[in-house]
Amino acid sequence: MRNAGLPVFVYRGRFQNSGKSYFAICAGLFADINEAKKYMEDIDEKKILQLTGLSIKDRFLKSFQLIGAENNEKK
């Protein structure tokens, strides 16, 4: 997907109840919610289907808080 010009990364999470890992493909990092919503509205669903074989009709926004070196040094 990156080779096709999509700003994607893999996110690894854990289910709280079972502790099992899951993986998700996330597209883009955005400065605010409006920018993310615009990208989500404009994304080419057919292109994603061609690249991955997966439908993204059930996609949703997910928020991440990134912590940089400055915050780690204060602890």
Q: How far apart are CA 36 and CA 69, in angstroms?
A: 25
Answer yes or no: is 48 within a domain. Answer: yes
Q: What is the Cβ-side half-sphere exposure of residue 10, based on CA atoms within 13 angstroms?
A: 5
Answer yes or no: is 25 within a domain. Answer: yes
pLDDT at 72: 53
pTM: 0.58
The label of the residue with tokens 């080779």 reads 3
Kind and range of the H or E run holding 9? strand 8-14
Read off the pLDDT of residues 15-74 as tens digits, 9 standing for 90 and up. Answer: 999 999 988 888 887 888 898 888 888 888 898 889 888 888 887 777 766 676 665 555
Answer yes or no: is 2 within a domain. Answer: no
**DSSP 8-state class, residue 59:** -
- The total domain count for the chain is 1
Answer yes or no: is 1 within a domain. Answer: no
- Residue 21: which residues within 8 A CB-CB, separation 6 or more? 12, 13, 14
The residue type at 70? E
Q: Which domain holds residue 27?
A: 8-74
